[in-house]
A and B are shown apart, each in its own frame.
Chain A
């Protein structure tokens, strides 16, 4: 019978994922059975997944952009990325830079047909893309949380939407992926909400992936989380990889915090000023 596998892999895994983006502070005043979160911070739903707070106003995903503030050249795009992409403070206290901090802007990660990530020259539709690396250092018997933030400026909004489509394809075709030698993520599932679906109002499109992270150095499985959103011709993404003693909630809170921070910065950087 079909019920078994679908129930096991489908509903149980995907349900919390769908809940992830089903945001809003009114509906989730705080962590169930725990201390309430301050407004604007992340909170959790039953099932352990993270709830993204609504970034800014209710229709934060709709930006009325000032055309003059949208980058048309690579240098303008890099300048904008520098003002928007997450820094350690965007995640919250205790997060520091990793080295190398910024990726070589001439390359970006591509998932090959063999389900192995490698660096390639970005497609022609990409004006600029930058990846930064962070971590919560190991402490008190807990392993390090590795974090990254990515911002990509495409030439057109359509190009950005295609990047979102490809991100969804990645977990569909590769539920197990090799990040680099000795590091992999498995049991990947993604949930995706367009603006307006289930209360998703932070961006035009919001994608969340969860899975299990394993590495030769840190063992595993540990929780893995990826969030990506698209507004106009921009995509913003954050990933978090757990380690010994780190919970899914902890990773979720960190990535959600940084993602919301980038969305707000992007909005204020390109929207019409009254």
Chain B
């Protein structure tokens, strides 16, 4: 990034300008920061163009068009001023390297990376096309890489399909080597959505081989080869990928799939927030950019070992729009996360000076194992909380997030814990995701007195002899039985609760099932009828028949997803019409799929709040703005856990003095924190006080949030 020139404005459209990201024929792109702390790429049009009425009309259309594009894989427009003296357009700032740079530095990408790129960029293009636009310059330089996925940028030359007058027909728009045959022969007006698909094919071939498929060199020769020659796909060994590229690069536009069809044709899971879709050296390239980012004055970014943030190479050619989901949350005021802290402590301010030790919140999560959906959601929650904290002008220190993946495996979890505990810059760790990892690491965290706050390890006891630094910021399995009983038994039509404990569900199911059965008689005037089935049971019909024969008029299943689906089907085959419930461990897409229509009316209690809950509204909006999608389950709880730690940290910190880990443990233990999901306070064993849980119900093939689960005796 270059420094501002003397002639540059210091503010534009509510953005304080921090430096120049690039300059081109029509204007300059600045890195700006909004008053709420969000970073943005602000494109400001040169005065000579601004005075041109035609240009201004075109710019206005560009802005309108760009605002219609809604995709997590395309950069969002965050603001624009089309009528002032100096028209400007702001987009969220994405500090990732361009695909062109990544391939140039690190070589061709593996087939999986290329498929992920293809799938996500096809979604971005589908969204562009749905808005009635054609991008016209899909190329590796216009795709930025982040760990979450790619971002399609530069709508500077995107034009509405019907806006033909704006481009001279003999003007070549786009980049030779990535142009479609129809663009090569017909000029600017002949490009349609199918042309973007062809360009995407060129881009993916480039990513897979390191070369444009029609070679390089003089523009005319390139264009000729594009029209007449077969693409060069040598080196694409994956037969499926090769065939796919062949269809994208069909000479006849009508023979190519649409962007929307392409999304469905590529069988590759979206990365969903993890870095495993990119090769390690590309991840490292992104990491290097993070470091560069941190070195810039006045820019606070979160870093991670597998970072999501990086800074762009300055001075890239043309009108470079560095945009997309930024390093700092784009929307909202940043105030709701850490509501109550600092408000009455105006002296605590001043960012950490350069060279000072880092203040790090660790995330130990399962990012690639059986609990990866929860782990990734939690990582995002923590990130959002920390970024919101960092965006405050009066923050007393700047926090960073460091994430380590333990895959949910005990052995790996121990190594992760060793790394975190040895790193004296780490103040607290959010995690682990699951019980096996938690059980394995408690001793290490205890010895280091490093605060460890889990939101999804719910076992009521772990083997560790001592776990003084460990907090369970969610109701344990033991307390989750109470809302289940309240929902199922405290109703006039239920006298006897059938409890089916399936050992396939492991400890979590055992504890919830066992205690639900035990507590029915303690909490209500009803009775329970328990049955237990061994791991691997497939035929539930005989057990269910026995439970119904013993007058069970409500039904609770404690076990795993597969067993819940079989139980649902078996129960649906009986005349039973009563209420039926399972626990959150079975509440996933697999249950809906495997149970089919039998899933209807099943209810679930879960410790996690839903994105649609009224009290999560602000959080959900901020999450969408930051990550381009609704928060997954456990994101809000991890956000709360991070907020709780930050509040405790802020309360302990005087000046630039770091609190000791043990002091932070004590402060957290004594905290009462109002979060998105619930109010957090801990008992002497550092377990969450209370048994607040949430209710979900299956309706029309989906999970619907019903609200907080009822409490007993209230």
The interface of chain A, by Cβ under 8 A from chain B, is 1-3, 5-6, 9-11, 14-15, 18-19, 22-24, 27-28, 45-46, 158, 161-162, 164-166, 168-169, 172-173, 175, 189-194, 196-199, 205
Bound state CA distance, A11 and B479, in angstroms? Answer: 9
- CB pair A2 B691 closer than 8 Å: yes
Determine which of B530, B691, B711 lies in contact with A169 in the assembled complex, contact meaning CB atoms within 8 Å.
Answer: B530
Q: Is B714 engaged at the interface, CB distance under 8 Å to the other chain?
A: yes
A233-B2 Cα distance, complex, nearest whole Å? 73
Most-contacted residue by chain B among A2, A5, A193 (CB, 10 A): A2
Contacts of A24 on B, CB cut-off 8 Å? 463
Any A CB within 8 A of the CB of B535: yes
19 A–B contact pairs at CB < 8 A? A2-B519, A2-B523, A2-B711, A6-B479, A6-B519, A10-B460, A10-B519, A14-B461, A14-B478, A14-B514, A158-B536, A162-B534, A164-B534, A169-B530, A173-B529, A196-B436, A197-B506, A197-B507, A198-B463
- The answer to whether the Cβ of B518 comes within 8 Å of any Cβ in the partner chain is yes
Is A168's CB under 8 angstroms from B501's CB?
A: yes
Report which of A19, A191, A194 forms a contact with B506, defined as CB distance below 8 A.
Answer: A194
Residue of A nearest to B683 (CB): A7
Q: Are A193 and B507 in contact (CB under 8 A)?
A: yes
Q: Assess whether B522 is interfacial by the CB under 8 Å rule.
A: yes
Q: Are A169 and B532 in contact (CB under 8 A)?
A: yes
Contacts of B712 in A (CB 8 A): 1-2
Give Cα distance in the complex from A199 to B436, angstroms.
9
In the complex, what residues of A have CB within 8 A of residue B462's CB? 22, 198
The reply to whether A161 and B534 form a contact with Cβ atoms under 8 Å apart is yes
A162-B539 Cα distance, complex, nearest whole Å: 13
Q: How far is the CA of A165 from the CA of B514 in the complex (A)?
A: 12
Interchain CA distance A18-B506 in the complex, whole Å: 13
Contact A198 B518 (CB under 8 A): no
Select which of B465, B523, B713 is within 8 A of A27 by beta carbon. B465
Q: How far is the CA of A173 from the CA of B513 in the complex (A)?
A: 12
Task: Decide: A6 near B478, CB < 8 A? Known: A11-B460, A24-B463, A172-B514.
Answer: yes
CA distance A164 to B537 in the complex (A): 13
Q: Mark B519-543, 1 if CB is under 8 A from A, else 0.
A: 1001100001111111110000000
Q: Are B478 and A198 in contact (CB under 8 A)?
A: no
B487 within 8 A of A: no
- B470 in contact (CB, < 8 A): no
A169 to B517, CA, bound (A): 10
Q: In the complex where A197-B506, A197-B507 touch, is A6 in contact with B443 (Cβ < 8 A)? A: no
Measured in the bound complex, the distance between the Cα atoms of B528 and A6 in whole Å is 16
Q: Tell me whether A166 and B532 are in contact in the complex, defined as CB-CB below 8 angstroms, given that A2-B711, A18-B461, A199-B463 are known contacts.
A: yes
User: Is the CB–CB distance between B714 and A11 below 8 Å?
Assistant: no
The residue of chain A having its C-beta at the shortest distance from the C-beta of B533 within the complex is A165
In angstroms, Cα B506 to Cα A205, docked, is: 11
Closest partner residue, chain A, to B689 (CB atom): A3
Residues of chain A contacted by B714 (CB below 8 angstroms): 1
User: Which residues, 674 to 706 on B, are CB-close (under 8 Å) to A?
Assistant: 690-691
Residue B510 interfacial (CB < 8 Å): yes
B522 with A194: CB separation less than 8 A? no
Could you tell me the distance between the alpha carbons of A196 and B506 in the complex, rounded to whole angstroms?
Answer: 10
B503 at the interface (CB under 8 A from A): yes
Other than the given A9-B522, A22-B463, 11 more pairs (CB < 8 A) read A2-B712, A3-B690, A10-B460, A11-B460, A14-B515, A46-B465, A161-B503, A165-B503, A168-B532, A172-B518, A173-B529
| Chain A nearest Cβ from B83, distance in angstroms | 61
Residue of A nearest to B687 (CB): A11
A173 to B499, CA, bound (A): 11
Return chain B residues, CB-CB under 8 Å to A46.
465
Distance between Cα atoms of A23 and B711 in the complex (Å): 36
A6: contacting residue among B436, B459, B482, B486, CB under 8 A? B482
Contacts of B517 in A (CB 8 A): 172
Taking CB atoms, residues of chain B closer than 8 Å to A161 are 503, 534-536
Q: Which residues of B contact A166 (CB under 8 A)?
A: 532
Measured in the bound complex, the distance between the Cα atoms of B75 and A274 in whole Å is 64
Q: Does B221 contact A (CB under 8 A)?
A: no
Interface flag for B79 (CB, 8 Å) = no
Give 1 or 0 for each of B105-122: 1 = CB within 8 Å of chain A CB.
000000000000000000
Q: Is B620 an interface residue (CB 8 A)?
A: no
Shortest distance from the beta carbon of B660 to any chain A beta carbon, whole Å = 26
Name A19's contact: one of B461, B481, B528 (CB within 8 Å).
Answer: B461
Determine the chain A residues whose CB is within 8 A of the CB of B690 once the complex forms: 3
* Residue B13 lies at the interface, judged by CB distance under 8 Å to chain A: no
- Measured in the bound complex, the distance between the Cα atoms of B489 and A2 in whole Å is 14
Q: Is the CB of B439 closer than 8 A to any CB of chain A? A: yes
With A and B bound together, what is the CA distance between A11 and B136 in angstroms?
Answer: 64
| Contact present for B478 and A11 (CB under 8 Å) | yes
B464 located at the interface, meaning its Cβ lies under 8 Å from any Cβ of chain A in the complex = yes
A194 and B535 form a contact (CB under 8 A): yes
Q: Nearest B residue to A163 by beta-carbon distance?
A: B534
- Pair A199/B439 contact, Cβ less than 8 Å: yes
Which of these, A10, A28, A194, contacts B503 with CB under 8 Å?
A194
Q: Which of B460, B533, B536 meets A15, CB within 8 Å?
A: B460
CB distance from B687 to the nearest CB of A (A): 8
For the complex of A and B, 3 pairs with smallest distance between CB atoms: A22-B463, A161-B534, A172-B530
When distances are taken between beta carbons in the complex, the residues of chain A under 8 Å from B511 are 14
B463 is contacted by which of A3, A19, A164 (Cβ under 8 Å)?
A: A19
A1 to B714, CA, bound (A): 7
Q: Which residues of B from 443 to 467 have beta carbons under 8 Å from A?
A: 443, 459-465
B460 near A18: Cβ-Cβ < 8 Å: yes
* A1: B residues at CB distance < 8 A: 711-714
Identify which of B463, B499, B515 contacts A10 (C-beta below 8 A): B515
B463 to chain A, nearest CB (A): 3
CA distance A45 to B486 in the complex (A): 34
What is the minimal beta-carbon distance from B278 to any residue of chain A, in angstroms? 32
Chain B residue contacts of A11, Cβ below 8 A: 460, 478
Q: Which residue of A lies closest to B531 (CB)?
A: A169
Residues from chain A with a CB closer than 8 A to the CB of B529 are 173
Q: Whole-angstrom distance between the alpha carbons of A169 and B714 in the complex?
A: 31
Contacts of A14 in B (CB 8 A): 460-461, 478, 511, 514-515
B465 to A: closest C-beta gap in Å: 6
List A contacts of B535 (CB < 8 A): 161, 194
A22–B712 alpha-carbon span in the complex (Å): 32
Interface pair B507/A173, CB less than 8 Å apart: no
A35 to chain B, nearest CB (A): 17
